[in-house]
Amino acid sequence: MSDTLILQPTLAADASVIWLHGLGADRYDFLPVAEALQERLYSTRFVLPQAPTRPVTVNGGYAMPSWYDILAMSPARAIDEAQLEESAQRLLGLIEAEIASGIAPARIFLAGFSQGGAVVLHTALLRWRGPLGGVLALSTYAPTFNDALTFDDNKKKLPVCCMHGTFDDVVPPALGRAAYDCLIAQGVPATWREYPMAHEVLPEQVRDIGAWLVAHLG
């Protein structure tokens, strides 16, 4: 897509990371992180899509890049699920495009920060039916997870790394932990990592992300 930023690797691409930014950010938000990670991942392509600009109810109806509208913040996030599904379908299209370019599904990773992470978790666990390399869920939550869910067998092999700041006052750690607990309850091989940070990304965390990707790419 013309509004998707593609960062090609030094070597011929044999793996991909599709990375969704957070609310109010844009496709360039994680470009420096992708560039830093490519210093270790010489054959990994980074795909950075741009969310559409639309009104966000909890921000007074102000229009900003958003994967879906947030209708209320408490007691739990109330969201526009139809818009979330639209974003999930777009992400599915990006996965299919990477497969069509020659990348094996097991070497495609989904990463998302905050609202982008919610789209990634929804898409990877509830909409994509094939294998994937793994999921990076950063400072995020899972508004479509609940106790009645049953994940398919592919998800029992899907590595998910959940990372959260202990001082996050935008997406409280309890929301992220609830998503992680749901994954564990369903037999998904998820890990939980906390950092002394707010709603952000730290250099130490980027190094850990790089190590996690290297470990799973072999």
Domain residue spans in the chain? 4-217
Q: Is 199 a catalytic residue?
A: yes
Does the annotation mark 21 as catalytic?
no
pLDDT of residue 1 exceeding 50: no
The helices-and-strands tally (H runs, E runs) of the chain is 5, 11
Would you say residue 198 has pLDDT above 70? yes
Q: What CA dihedral angle connects 74, 54, 85 and 93, to 10 degrees?
A: -140
User: String of b and e for 107-146 (b: at least 16 CB within 10 Å)?
Assistant: bbbbbbbbbbbbbbbbbbbbebeeebbbbbbbbbbbbbbe
DSSP secondary-structure letter at 29? T
The single residue of 66, 114, 122, 139 carrying the catalytic annotation is: 114
Burial degree of 206 (CB within 10 A; 0-12, 13-18, 19+): middle
Q: Which of 26, 181, 199, 208 is catalytic?
A: 199
Asked whether residue 12 carries a pLDDT value surpassing 90, the answer given is yes
What per-residue confidence (pLDDT) applies to 75?
A: 61
DSSP string, 71-129: EE-SSS-EE-HHHHHHHHHHHHHHHHHHHHTT--GGGEEEEEETHHHHHHHHIIIII--
Q: Which CATH class is domain 4-217?
A: alpha beta
Cα 63-122-93 angle, rounded to 5 deg: 80
168 is catalytic: yes
3-state DSSP assignment of residue 155: helix
Q: Give yes or no for residue 6 having a pLDDT over 60.
A: yes
Tokens at 152, concatenated: 């398919």
* 162-197 pLDDT per residue, tens: 999 999 999 999 999 999 999 999 999 999 999 999
- Residue 77 reports pLDDT greater than 80: no
The pLDDT value given to residue 164: 98
pTM value is 0.96
Residue 50: DSSP 8-state: -
- What would the pLDDT profile of 93-148 be if each residue is shown by its tens digit? 999 999 999 999 999 999 999 999 999 999 999 999 999 999 999 999 999 998 88
Q: Looking at 21, 69, 139, 168, which residue is catalytic?
A: 168
